[in-house]
Chains A and B, each alone.
Chain A
Amino acid sequence: EPEVTQTPSHQVTQMGQEVILRCVPISNHLYFYWYRQILGQKVEFLVSFYNNEISEKSEIFDDQFSVERPDGSNFTLKIRSTKLEDSAMYFCASSALAGGSYEQYFGPGTRLTVT
């Protein structure tokens, strides 16, 4: 069964450093998403992406964040200058069809630890 994959599984970085989290969505999906989950809290929407553009973004997704689809398979989330409060699980998701009314398939997540 096709699945969303994410690398690395765990990333440790120092405050102020840039990190890039990588995702490979399901191959025939057109819509891509990033969510984060701070330990013990709920999953929070960050951004959605379609046709090489951001479709929606939340208040969390400030200028420190950016997304890119550099080739036909990868979807990346960059945090330009990490802060302690960026420590969280980051989940990538993809869906075949438009909007939130169609099933979003989630990857296993990348645990980001900022020290």
Chain B
Amino acid sequence: GENVGLHLPTLSVQEGDNSIINCAYSNSASDYFIWYKQESGKGPQFIIDIRSNMDKRQGQRVTVLLNKTVKHLSLQIAATQPGDSAVYFCAENSGYSTLTFGKGTMLLVSP
């Protein structure tokens, strides 16, 4: 069936580096995508979203890029900090209210 998946299960970076987390999706009908951050023992926390009529959206230290041609989504974190260490999930809106989550990428930031 159609699903959202992640290429890299674990990403290790040094503090201050830029991080890029990737996500592939297969449902071409999805029109809304979200990145969530999940710290240990907590629920998913909204980071940034993007609609399918856009290809880039910037937030504070984060940028989401959407490439509909290849069905690819990425999250860029600038100047990564130890507090950014968490699992990052991409999710797509695949129904009226349904969010379909990817498997997650663990980001490890070393000081």
Contacts and interface: CB of A to CB of B under 8 A. Distances in A.
Interface of A: 4, 31, 33, 35, 41-45, 48, 50, 55-56, 58, 91, 93, 98-101, 103-109
B97 to A, nearest CB: 4
Interface string B70-96: 000000000000000000010101111
B101 interface: yes
Contacts of A35: 99, 101
Contact of B43 (A31, A100, A103, A107): A107
Interface string B35-79: 010000111111001010000000000000000000000000000
14 contacts: A31-B97, A41-B103, A42-B101, A43-B91, A43-B101, A45-B99, A56-B96, A56-B97, A56-B98, A93-B43, A98-B97, A100-B96, A100-B99, A108-B43
B42 A108 contact: yes
Interface of B: 31-32, 34, 36, 41-46, 49, 51, 89, 91, 93-104
A99 B42 contact: no
A113 to B, nearest CB: 15
Contacts of A4: 43
